[in-house]
Amino acid sequence: MSVSPRDVPQYRDVTGPGAWRAVLHELAATVPAPDPRARPRYRTILMPMLVGASDLFAVREGLLAHALRLRGAEVVFVLCDGMTACDARTYDHDPDGYCAQCLAHGEANLAAFGHRVLRASAHADLERAGACAALARARADEELLQDAPGRPGLAAHVFSSTLRYLRAGVWAPSDARTVAKGREYLETALLMREFAQTTIARVRPDKVVLSHGVYATWGPWADQAVAAGVPFDTCCGGWRRNTLFLQHDDPRALHCDDLWPDVAHHPLDANERACIEAYISTRDDNRADAFQYIQGIEQGLASFCARHAIDLTTTRRIVGVFSNVAFDSARFGGGRAFADMFAWLRACVERARLHPDTLFVVKAHPGEANFAETTPEAWRVGAALASSSALPPNVRFVPPDDRVSPYALYALIDAGLVNTSSVGLEMALHGIPVLTTGAGVHYEKPGIVVVPRDTDDYFAKFDAFARGPVTFTPDRELALRYAYALYFRKSMPFEPIDVKGWAPVGLGIRHLGDLAPGRFPGLDRLCEGILEGTAFAMPGSLRQ
């Protein structure tokens, strides 16, 4: 897929308190008329943005809404107007009065942008809303993660939101804080379900477009769209900077399962290969991505080996064990072989005792310490390993702030073990055999990684990886096709803004007319997917 000059806009810097509000007023001063000939399949779009405190949501979804309007759609936003718990809060960012500030900020931004906004409770039945709160308070502790018969979905939302708030990796039923916060998120999920049901019934949208379909704030809106027979699309930021992932009727946005059956058997052309190879070369320090975890990355191995007492002259075999951020790895219902990441890590360390001639290097995810939302000490991999028995002499722990390049580690190891980390795909791209836990990570595809059937099968495969040599070799061509589909086909450019982390930092348009069809290929494809139901993927020779 070629990249033309119009794919890369010139961004005007927009930073500082209140800067975006002024820009939104400026853009809304002249609103172009939509194309009168446009007759989209899905005309009325409901966007439960809900979290008004986010400049990113207001700017990104606000621009997307204007682009949809120019193509003949009517967009209605919904903002949350007060919850016991919501997904804009975390244990270390939960100030008093947050709800009022969040709502005011969102309404002001969207109003400045000229959008129609409803409050979530606008059409609520107050008696039924009160019953939701009473139901959450009456639910027994052990039933917080149980769905009512015939009303599935809320338990998964409560689980995900509670662990995200605490940034924890395990639901701890004996922990009073976990239970108390879980009860609050159950109340939020119940209320959101009621608000979504009444709003969808009143607005009668043709489609619902929302973020994060797995959390208590947004998940019930997707559930109620399904119950009402209304299609929904979920949206989240992609790995590559200034890209978005969208999926039809699927809360799991970050995958390319819809493309894989078609692209798995089609070789990459020269330009596609050049694109993905160039991008892979940037993944050592994430310099082309939305989030960069390590500054001043260390490319060599000499100082790394010295720090961690690794003697390459006597070490026969090295297996890398790569963790993830605790809450991000948590899966409701657990995985195929282990209940959670920490159970897996402890099992790996204990199993390593059976293979004293093999060195196991356990690498904590850099996001534990180098992320906007750092992981509490109690839920870091180092603490989890320290709380168990002493590490065997053939296990080395690498903390999250170690600046060693992951690519340097790939040159060091003979095989890799992962739970859900994207490192698994990177190792396969480097020809390293990888064993996952069967937790459902998106790249668990035959030929790319080894996936166990169950716990017993995992340990059998673990032993084979530890003893070596491993008979499985990843099909690098297959892994390249998958990576290209994931990072360039499903990661769709959203050209109007420049985003760093979770903050919009630049504007790539001069006026709202630039959002009309024909200016930005990525934006055109996103709008077509929302309004016509076409595939959320950039076109390319892989589909021809």
pLDDT digits (tens, 9 = 90+) for 96-148: 889 999 999 999 999 999 999 999 999 988 888 889 989 999 999 999 998 86
CB contact at 8 A, 123 and 75: no
Q: What is the domain range of residue 70? A: 9-260+491-536
439 is a domain residue: yes
Query: What is the rounded CA–CA span in Å between residue 6 and residue 534?
Result: 23
pLDDT at 273 over 80: yes
Q: Is residue 131 part of a domain?
A: yes
Residue 502 belongs to some domain of the structure = yes
Tell me whether residue 203 is in a domain. Answer: yes
What is residue 6's predicted lDDT score, i.e. its pLDDT?
Answer: 43
Confidence (pLDDT) at 544: 32
Q: In this structure, are 420 and 502 located in the same domain?
A: no
- CA-CA distances (angstroms) from residue 166 to 72, 95, 181, 525? 42, 15, 9, 37
Residue 543 inside a domain? The answer is: no
Question: Using 50, 70 and 90 to split pLDDT, how confident is the model at 331?
Answer: confident
> What is the tally of structural domains in the chain?
2
Instruction: Give the separation between CA 113 and CA 107, rounded to whole angstroms.
Output: 10
Task: Clarify whether residues 254 and 283 are in a common domain.
Answer: no
User: How is residue 165 written in tokens?
Assistant: 């708030």
Assess whether 283 and 242 both reside in one domain: no
pLDDT (tens digit, 9 = 90+) per residue, 144-154? 998 866 666 79
| Same-domain pairing of 131 and 58 | yes
**Radius of gyration of the CA atoms of the chain, in A:** 24
Contacts of 332-335 with C-beta under 8 Å, sequence gap 24+, read 332/145, 332/155, 332/156, 332/159, 332/160, 333/156, 334/439, 335/419, 335/437, 335/438, 335/439, 335/440
Residue 91: pLDDT above 90? yes
pLDDT band at 7 (very low <50, low <70, confident <90, very high): low
Tell me the average pLDDT of the chain: 93
Tens of pLDDT, residue by residue over 210-245, are 998 899 999 999 999 999 999 999 999 999 999 999
Q: How far is CA 87 from CA 56, 185, 283, 476, in A?
A: 15, 9, 29, 39
Q: Do 181 and 87 share a structural domain?
A: yes
Domain presence at residue 507:
yes
Same domain, yes or no, for 398 and 527?
no
Residue 172: pLDDT above 60?
Answer: yes
Would you say residue 543 has pLDDT above 80? no
Give yes or no: residues 115 and 241 share one domain: yes
Q: How far apart are CA 465 and CA 318, in angstroms?
A: 10
What percentage of residues in the chain have a pLDDT greater than 70? 97
What is the structure's pLDDT at 542? 37
What tokens does 107 get?
């309404």
Complete DSSP assignment for 77-115: EEE----SS-TT-BTTB--TTHHHHHHHHHHHHHHHTT-
Residue 333 — very low, low, confident or very high, per pLDDT cuts 50/70/90? confident
Same domain membership, residue 350 and residue 315: yes
**Which of the residue ranges 146-155, 262-271, 386-395 would you say has the lowest mean pLDDT?**
146-155
Kindly state whether residue 250 falls inside one of the protein's structural domains.
Answer: yes
Which amino acid type is present at position 418?
V
The answer to whether the CB of 509 falls within 8 A of the CB of 503 is no
The span from the CA of 530 to the CA of 231, in Å, is 10
Same domain, 362 and 303: yes
Is the CB of residue 78 less than 8 Å from the CB of residue 46? Answer: yes
CATH number at residue 461: 3.40.50.2000
Query: pTM of the prediction?
Result: 0.94
Is there a single domain that holds both residue 108 and residue 207?
Answer: yes
- Which segment, 92-106, 140-154, 329-343, 525-539, is predicted with the most confidence on average? 525-539
48-60 residue pLDDT tens: 999 999 999 999 9
Whether residues 179 and 273 share a domain: the answer is: no
Whether residues 362 and 496 share a domain: the answer is: no
Residue 3: inside a domain = no
Q: How far apart are CA 523 and CA 72, in angstroms?
A: 15
